[in-house]
């Protein structure tokens, strides 16, 4: 069972299906955050491609495999049951599986100022790619100083009358994106300013901002506000079950394991750094391969003898694999699951069940 339909989830689905696993993908939508990305220049195989188009190609590939997709419902609770996991959706549907991969990604972070909620979808938006054309010829404000804010600014300076870019800090986005917007005649940048209020009755009419240094306030007349201040992990449904870090991300090891046998996580919802489409896709592939190995062990598809493995590993732990530099490194057999801790640095190869063991930690 794969929870999430973004790059990580869809890649995991393809890898799981190719391993002949009975695969179910559950997601409220297909594509996730890349759907909101105007242009992608760093996904190999494409010099340039729209985020939505890339996700459509992902979906086309997923549908080439014999797997089940449940789109439209969001998993509200995941729990352990005998023999695996049960996922309940906000549509009161329940699905069960022996192994699960969480790949729910992230969602836009709200600004949390007066007027934001009231004027949501009435001039307040979180997606310049989706809604930008609605504000052609108008004055608009873009809130944020990172890549998403700069991409939104680049989109809007081409079609808006005037763009106000408002950020609490200096610009933190990629230099190439800063260069794209720098010098635009219809752009005014307010560095180290905070938004105090989004004003308007039925629709957005303006924003009130304050200079963090001088404390001087001013009102800007705008018809649209694009909030681009980062993302929040979609991990609420799992926080009672697995550890989250202070950012709300799911903690995983290098094998995408959460600490609960059979439960894996991949993509932007995890602690893996560098939130990129290509990274998320790779993590989804890893998670599916690890889930396959877990199910192999569960189904006893390989002969194994834990006692023999443990006895052999106890001896091999004294002679570490070539390249080991620290005592205390741990290795695991991907077939039987037994682990060994290095107690003495030396040569040789750690082997178990006919395969080299995999290093899992320092």
Instruction: List the catalytic residues.
Output: 127, 130-131
Picking from 121, 144, 124, the residue whose alpha carbon sits closest to that of residue 224 is: 124
The structure tokens 């950012």 sit at 247
Residue 92: DSSP 8-state = S
Exposed e or buried b per residue across 101-127, where buried means at least 16 C-beta atoms within 10 angstroms of its C-beta: bbbbbbebeebebebbeebeeebbbbb
Query: Are the beta carbons of 169 and 146 closer than 8 angstroms?
Result: no
126: which residues sit within 8 A by CB, 6+ positions away? 36, 108, 226, 227, 228
Q: In angstroms, rounded to a whole number, what is the distance separating the alpha carbons of residues 140 and 38? A: 18
Q: In angstroms, rounded to a whole number, what is the distance separating the alpha carbons of residues 336 and 164? A: 59
Count of C-beta atoms within a 10 Å radius of residue 97: 23
């Amino acid at each position: 069972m794969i929870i999430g339909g973004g790059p990580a989830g869809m890649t995991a689905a393809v890898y799981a299906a190719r391993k002949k696993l009975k695969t179910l993908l559950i997601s409220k939508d297909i594509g996730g955050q890349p759907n909101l990305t105007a242009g992608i220049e760093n996904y190999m195989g494409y010099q340039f491609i729209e985020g939505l188009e890339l996700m459509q190609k992902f979906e086309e590939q997923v549908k080439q495999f014999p797997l089940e997709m449940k789109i439209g419902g969001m998993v509200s609770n995941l729990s352990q049951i005998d023999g695996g996991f049960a996922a309940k959706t906000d549509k009161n549907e329940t699905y069960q599986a022996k192994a699960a991969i969480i790949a729910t990604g992230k969602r836009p972070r709200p600004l949390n100022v007066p007027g934001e909620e009231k004027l949501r979808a009435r001039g307040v938006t979180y997606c310049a790619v989706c809604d930008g054309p609605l504000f052609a010829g108008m004055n608009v404000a873009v809130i944020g100083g990172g890549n998403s804010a700069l991409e939104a600014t680049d989109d809007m300076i081409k079609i808006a009358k005037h763009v106000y870019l408002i950020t609490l800090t200096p610009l933190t986005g990629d230099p190439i994106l800063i260069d794209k917007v720098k010098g635009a005649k219809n752009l005014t940048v307010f560095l180290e300013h905070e938004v105090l209020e989004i004003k308007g009755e039925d629709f957005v009419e303006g924003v009130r901002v304050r200079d963090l240094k001088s404390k001087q306030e001013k009102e800007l007349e705008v018809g649209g506000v694009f909030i681009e201040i980062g993302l929040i992990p979609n991990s609420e449904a799992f926080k009672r079950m697995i550890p989250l870090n202070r950012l709300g991300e799911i903690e995983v090891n290098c094998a995408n394991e959460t600490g609960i046998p059979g439960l894996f996580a991949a993509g932007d919802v995890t602690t893996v750094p560098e939130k990129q489409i290509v990274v998320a896709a790779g993590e989804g592939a890893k998670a599916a391969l690890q889930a396959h190995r877990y199910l192999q062990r569960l189904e006893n598809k390989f002969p194994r003898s834990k006692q023999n493995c443990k006895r052999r590993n106890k001896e091999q732990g004294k002679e570490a694999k070539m390249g080991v530099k620290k005592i205390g490194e741990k290795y695991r057999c991907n077939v039987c699951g037994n682990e060994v801790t290095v107690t003495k640095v030396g040569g040789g190869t750690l082997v178990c069940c006919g395969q080299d063991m995999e290093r899992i930690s320092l």
